[in-house]
Structures are given as C-alpha cells and as structure tokens.
Structure 1
Amino acid sequence: VIFSVILSICYLFVLLVSAVVLDEYAKTEGAWILSLVKREYSVGTVLECAIKCNIEPAFTCRYHYAYDILFSVFTEYLMECVNGIGMDYRGTKSKTNSGKTCQRWASKYPHKPNMTPSTHPKADLESNFCRNPDGDSKGPWCYTTDPDTRWETCNCRSTKNKKCVTVPILLGSLYMSNHVLLHLVLSPTPHPPCLSSLLEKYLEENYCRNPDGDPRPWCFTTSPSKRWDFCSIPRCTSDPPRVVEELTCATGDGSAYRGTIGVTASGKACQVWATQTPQQHNRTPDNYPCKGLELNYCRNPDHEKMPWCFTTDPETRWEYCKVPSCGDVPGPDYAAPPPAEEDCYVGDGTDYRGMVTETISGKRCQSWSSMTPHSHNKTPQVFPKADLRRNLCRNPDGDRAPWCYTTDPSVRWEFCSVNRCPTAPKPTPKPDKHDQPEPKPSQAPSDDSRDCKVGNGGTYRGPTSMTMLGVTCQSWSAQSPHQHASFTPESHPDKGMESNNCRNPDNDVNGPWCYTTDRNQKWDYCQIPDCAGLKCGQPVTKPRRCFGRIVGGCVSKPHSWPWQISLRTNTGVHFCGGTLIAPQWVLTAVHCLESSKRPSAYMVVLGTHTEGANEPSKQERKLEKLILGPGETDIALLKLESPAIINDKVLPACLPEKDYVVPPGTECYVTGWGETQGTGGEGLLKETGFPVIENKVCNRPAYLNNRIKDHEMCAGNIEGGADSCQGDSGGPLVCHAQNTFVLQGVTSWGLGCANAMKPGVYVRVSKFTDWINSQIKMNS
C-alpha cells in the first residue's frame, strides 16, 4: 500500500511538471473518433507520450492528462485519412481538390445547402470541414465559397496504401480546481452550430458553462434521451468583490455603476432586486451574484443601454434611471431618454441609432462584442459613446456611412443597408430670362419625374443625386474626379442627364446609377424605390422597428407594415390579426375562427392604420374559403373573394424557406391592434421588437415548462414588458433578412401579456410552407 501511494505521488508530480510542455498543444476542431482498430504505443513516461503524440503523422493528436482515482491518461485524436468513401471522416480539411475554401455547412451563402447540421445531425457537419453526409462515391466533399462552383470533392488522404493509426482512449474524469466538472466523453446529442459565435463564453472542450444566461451552468449530455441538464456545481462561498467608491458614477453603459440611486428617471421608486412584488423577474442577486444587486439600487446587470430597475408601480414594470456620468470619462447622458431609432442616417451616420443589422449585400452583421469570425478593436469598451449594442449597424470611427463586421468569414466588413435621411433641397437661384430660351412643349417634364422608378428605372427622371452609400453624384457633363466618354448629355441627349441626378442611360437591370464624387469609387447604384412597391416584404414606408412594447405603447408609422390585416366579424368588429401572403390569401390562427367555420361570418380589412378603418386607403374583402391547418395546429389560410389591390399601403409579406429555424437572439417584430391594458395608443397599429428564444430555453420549467412543440417558436424579452396580447392573435411575427421582412410566425398563444419569463408563442411558418403553397395551388 505504501509503495502504491508513493508511486501515485510520483506519477502526479510528473503530470504537473509536464503541464508546461502540454500547454503548447492546440485544440483541433471536430468530433472524437474511436476506431475498432487499435494500436498501442509503448512509452515510459507522460512526457514521452506527449512527444509521440506531437510527431504523429497519420492523425491530428492532442495529449491530455486527467487525474482521478485511477490516474487515467488518455489522448483524443482526429482521423486525417479516409476509410473507403470517407463517410466516417472527421478530419479538419476545408479545401477542395482545386484549392477552393469550403463554405460552412450551416451557412446559406453563397450557396443554399441541401445538407445542413440540422438535416444531417449525425454527419458532424460542423464548421466548414470536408464531410461525406450522402455517401458520395468520390469521398468527402463540401459546398464552396466560390459563387460559380456549388460543390467539389476534397483532397483528403486515402488509406488505400496507408494504414490509419489510432490509439486507445482511457476515459476518466477531472474535477478541476475552479470547480468545473469535466465529463470526458463525446456528446452524441446534436446542438446548434453556433458555438463559433460564443468564443467569449469560453466554450472549450465539454466543460459546463452558462452561455445563455441560465440560473447556473449546464451542458448537452451524452444521453440520447436527455438533451441537456444543469451541472452539479456548488456556488462560491467567498464574498463578492468589494465595490470601490469610484463606481458611484457611470461610464459606458453603466454596468460597473455601484452607486445608491434608487429611483427611475421619472421619479418612480425602484423595487428591491431580491423581492418578487410587484414585479416578478429573474434578475435576482442569486442569479447575478457579481452585478451589485443590493437593495433597490439602479444597476445594469444585463447590458442594457444604461442603469435601470424594476419599479414599485404595478403599472410600470421597469424604467431607466438618471445616473450621473463620470465627468471626463466617456458616458451617455443618463438624464436623457434613449434617442429616436429611425432607420436613416444624417451626415456620416455617426449618430445613427437605428435597428438595421444587415450589410448592403445582405450579409448579417457580427456582434460588436464578438471576436468571431473577425477579430477587431471596435468594441463597446473602446467606443463607449458609439452605442455598439448587439450587431446593430453603427459608425464608431467616423467612416462615410454606418457599417459593421459581417458574419461571413471571407468578408471582414461592409457598409450597411441603411439610407441617408432625406433633406430639404437647397433653393436654386432663379435664372435670368436671357440665360435660357423658353422651353418647348416637347421639353416638358416626363411622367417619371417622381422620386421612384418603374421597372429598371430607364425612364426615371427624379431628383435623387446620391448613391446608396450617401455619396454625392458627379455631374454627367463633368470629367472630374472621373473621366468618362460613354455617358454624357451629348451622347445621350434624351436620358435626362443635364445635372448630377441618378439615371439609367444603359438600361442596367439593377436600376439607376451615377458616377460618384469619391475618387476611390468611379460609379455606384442609387437607392431608388419602386413606384409600385410590388416586392413582398419590402414596404415603401420603412417601419420604425422600435423595441418598445405593444403593451405599453409603440405606435407604428402609418402603412409601414402593409401586410397587416384586420380580421373582423361580418358586422365590422375587429377581433384578430392576420398576414397578407399573396394578393388573394391571408394567413391567420385557427383559434381566431372558433366562433364559426362559415366564410360569410368574417371579413378582412386591409390598408389601414387605425382600428376604426376610416382611411381612404381601406380595402374590404369578404372571404371565399377557410382552410384549417393540418392536425391540431393553430394556423389557417383565408381566401379572399377577390384579390387585394397591391400598392404602397397593401403589400404581402414573404414566406420563409421550408423548415428554416430562426437563430436564437434574432430580432423580430410583432404588430397588431390588440389589448394595450390602458397604456395608451388604443386604436392605432402598434409594433414591438424582441429576440427569438430557442425552444430548449422556452421549455424550461421556469418558462413554459415543455409546452412548446416543434412546429412552434418563442419570442419575447425574458424580463417581460414587450409582447403580443389579446386582439393580436393570428397576426404576423416578421424577421428582417436580405433587406426583406419574412413571415416567420403566426401569433398563437401565451401565458398572460408581457409577463416575465413567459414569452409569446408563435406557429413556426417554415414548417408549413409546403402546405401553404399546395393549398394555394389547389384552390386557385
């Protein structure tokens, strides 16, 4: 026994000494592989094992050590060669035979894949590694990042003339000194391919972590019957860090503020964080032990714009606080309300605070606090006044327009798809009557002098003279800063090129353009709206896209959500919402039709902003047919007796791709004339924006306790305050993508309105796209 103890102590000493060498070993991505063919290496020490692993040519090898009652030592490895056609290949090759970089399997750009991590969960379609999910006879392959080449076979080594070498794995467990429980097994449970966007959450290996704000750390499990579970990790018993007096004023977003202000900006008393009355919430000292949630002091535990608190007023759930800024240290004016969030910018857009999250080419923006896929120094800490929230388009460094880093690894950054705010035209001096001859009748203004285009804008004669990036156009007759001869007033006298207005003299399919006054950009397209506004999901009047509340008040711009319809009784009383998806078709909820299954019992009103529907733009339609969704799902199609007239006030929303799952955290919008619980704005169309919540989170006991089905989705603020409510049922949940609003949900049900930890539930439209299209085709 004594000898065994001495041997164990010596063995542990070797492990600790070897740690310095082992720290240099880098983790490789992919999944663990355990081959039935085993080969053991005979080595005398742990250090020799590490050296042997380092020089292994047949597979990617990483040495680990773990100390438990058996002093188990193991290695993990990735096969870098191919057996047969390589269906079990799990290496890290990400180049094709011709050298093209592979597209990420979870990406939809530049190619929309048929095989994704969600459709083939057992194929290990992570990152952009070469795989063979469909058993291709040529071996592992991938979609490429070349728009002209959809896919190619990869250059993975074959084992035809070389035997794959593997080593045995001895499993053990290690309870680390920082109280992280490590399960040294491979998780067979597929999970969302979004870990690359959470590097700041330290999601290494399979350690227990808390990347999504749960009450305590958790992990995906190795049990096929249990997807995830909380980890058995005790809370720290030591005192939290002491607060220093310098933090009694606010810097940045005020997350470090530890002062004693306990009233909101409007004078309401703050509720004690540890209590649940009158507001129920999960922002408790236990759940946020390091956020200074003492008594009822204003704090910012969850990266809001500024310090806030729940209020003791039962009618007001929470409000921002008036906290002083720390003198010369950059910080917002906490006494002022948040700036208006309009989706256009003035000047160079430094003060832009809108909600656009896409670039001019339709790429999704990377979060400013994230370092993947692009590492950068434009962070909220470095630019505290730039409002670098989430992945919203901003201009922190004074560029010429709002921009963002993109989530496309091959494109670091781009300007955003946001327009310059319209400005009043400068007055032009009236010319002397001797300067110009009287215009002939044939020179009268064209019918297309409106500031919108018809078709490709070949006849556009409107006044816009800026590119879509806000750069002033060069005069067509000028040769500076760009020389040109192909398009001048002399060469095209009938194209309206007398000034520097955007025109389309060559009938470009993408619309009007101009030479620019930017020496680095010879020409660019102009942002000219379509006169007819016929594209689904692209309203002529841009929405506010506010993140206020339907319950609480956020009135929409008139006709900015032109697919919103009012479902009414045949006597004209509004009771539900719906979404126009085609000129003669509306999508709504089945439970809105409980009173009668006769089409004559209902009518649809389109093109209105007020619930009273007294506008001249109102269109009324009777129903020809009701089509209930399959099974007991809460979705229904309504066929109008006659098609709606599509114009700038009545426009369909776009349908999503089949089975598309909206990523958690995506900001979506709900609209309706529903119940406001006496908070103002009754009778006007209202809107609110909030993030999508993963079904895994929504089904937790504290939330909706396994009530959410696969064909449903959740959206809302976990702390409450924004939600759809009675009268909004059947209405749209739309998400913004590729400069278009896509209908992702039908408002279905919820536990109350805007309650904490009780988000709204919506029918997932992408699960029904085939059904919708087949019903429309069958009944047209």
Structure 2
Amino acid sequence: MRIWKTSLLFCVVLVKMTGVVLMDEISVDSTVSDADNNTHSNLSSLIVGYIKMLQGEVQLGINIVPNICIKEVVQIMFDTEQDMLSKFEAAVKDLSYECTALPSSVEHASFIVTKDSNNQQVATYTCDAGYTYGGGKNMVWCNDDFGEWDFPTLQCVECFTSRDKYRGKKSITQGGVECQRWDSQSPHQHGTISSDFIENNIVLSENYCRIKKKPFEPWCYTTDPNLEWDYCGIPNCNRIYKNDCGLPHPLTNAKPNYIYTSNGATVRYACLQLSGSTQNSYCPVSTCMNTGWTDASISCGNDDCVRNSQTYTGKRNCTISGRTCQAWISTHPHDHFYNSHHFPDRSVSEAGNYCRDPNGSGTLWCLTTDRNVRYEPCDIPSCNLFP
C-alpha cells in the first residue's frame, strides 16, 4: 500500500470515492438564474445562501469520511468554496433589479415613474395644488443593485395663488410668533372689518394669516406686544424655485434659522449674545441663489438690538425677508415725505438706508428697493432678550 504516501492523497481519493461532491458550475448557474428571475432578491442574501450551501457540503464531507481526514476535507472544501464564490460574484455582478414597490410618499405631493436614457427607473414628484417647491430632491432613482428606491427629500410648502384667495389656516408668523385674532384689539389695535377678508366675516378669519392690503403677501398682527405684525412666510404659488443650497453657512455667535418666503429660500441669523463690537452696513440674511448662499455677516454688537424703535441708530439695512432697504434720502423706487426731523440721526442723509421708525409705529422698518414691495419690518431683537 505504498500508494498512500500521505494522508492528503488518501483523503482526496476517499472523498471522490465516497461521493462527497462539491458545488459545481451547474449549482452556480442555477443560483444566478434564480436571482435573475426573482426581482425581490437581494444580492447580499443570495451570497449568504450560497455560502450556506457550501457549508452544508463541508458538513456532509465531515460526516462521511473518517476522522483522520476531517482536516484535509475541510481544507479542500474551503479552497473550493473560495474559488466558487469568486465565480458566483463574477456571474451576478452585472445583475440589476427593477423596483417593484412604489417609491416613498411625500406629504402634499404626487409622483410619476418613468425611465431615463439609461433605462433606469426614476420617480418625479410634483407638489399638489396650493403647495409649491420648498427645497430638497424632487427626483429619485431606483437603486438597481438592490431593487430599492432612493429616499426623496422634497418639501412642499403651502402657498397662495393671489392676494385675495388665500384660505389657508396657518396662524404662525415666519418668525415663529402666534398670530393675534382679527376680532381682537389686544395686544394691537387695528381697524380691520369683515369685508377685508375672503370669508367676509372677521370672526371666521380667526387668527389665520390673511391678505387685506394691496402691497402684502399673507400676514397677521402678532401676539407679541413688541412686534405689531409680520409676514407668515407663505410663498406665491406662481413663482418657481429650483435652487437647493443645502445647509447655510455657520456664523460665530449667531444661530441660523432656515425659512422659506415668497422671496425665495433664505436664512435669518439671530445673535446668541451681544458683545461690544460693531459693524456698519451689514445684513444678517443669506439667500439661496444659483451660485449658492449669498454672503451674510452679523456683528452681534450692542447696536444689534433695539430698546426704543424711535431712538435706534443701528446699522441694519435689510428687511425681515432679506430685501435691501431704500435710502431715506431717496424717493426711488418709492416716494415718501420723511425728512431729517423724522429720524434720531443728525440728518436724513446720515440715516442712510438703515432700519428706522420715522412714523412712530413702534416697529423698525424701511422702504425697500423692490418696486413691488413698498416697505417691510426689520427683524431686530429687543435688548431685553439678552443679559
């Protein structure tokens, strides 16, 4: 019996003679065919299943051959398993799966599924009537490696179609302040009547954002005694915004607040605390443009808060929605009657285009350089908010 010079040679022959047959090309082809015909299959689960079958073959060999051959059988099986696994991965790497399930739903939006030029499934979302694009991805693709849809990040925000047709029930301003009821005179007195509203009933209008004067988008009086009124950040349905700039730039000592208004996607920065530094001619608002976020700077100095609207001499020169203020010495694009006597500055020229309260309204505001918007309030915090 000199033929059995080594235990390895003996065990190899014994494995063949006892019928311990490893998975061959037919097994691989069968598994690949199953994967190709089952659109619900997951590539990773197929590989796991294939390995389990190989492990079963290994266990079969261990059960049949004598104990002296267990080590050799396991080694033979392992080497063959690695070789067959490589063949399997090469065979299935080009497989692709269609998404049979529907893509994720998005609130206030519908979608249609088509195929692009590469024959890949794509779902395109469209906001429902009364809502408009508010950022994020409105197209998602089917991940054909696993037959699963990418996740949409589209946001559809409520919008108004014209100045006299907004019937929504939003009752919070774009700054997060609750609206005052229209039939209430506290904390702000006003002269609105039922005929000013689309419901033709001041009681039914409750404290919803509404449009009752020609120059405005939806707005309301606020429940904050220090802020008479504010816009509600509801965009116009007829405007299209295609820019998605991602997260805004962080600023030292200031907190960004991402909002969406009819002026587009903007970020208003709020000071976390005040310091002794000052900076002239700044605007703490960043707007999403084709080239990304516009530059914004905010000094968070002592002049960045207001103690009395009629004595404020700070340098804020943009409105709550990011519109640039018109210089007070100018009458273009909006004419006005204000002169040096209306400002705490030494002259109307020195008042620049800074936010002021020349009519004693109790709120800092300015005329804007937007010919379609005569004036807007300036979002300047009260000094009482800071220690």
Q: What TM-score does the superposition give when structure 1 sets the normalisation length?
A: 0.17
> Which structure has the larger Rg over C-alpha atoms?
2
Q: What TM-score does the superposition give when structure 2 sets the normalisation length?
A: 0.31
Q: Which has the higher contact order (CA 8 A, sep 6+)?
A: 2
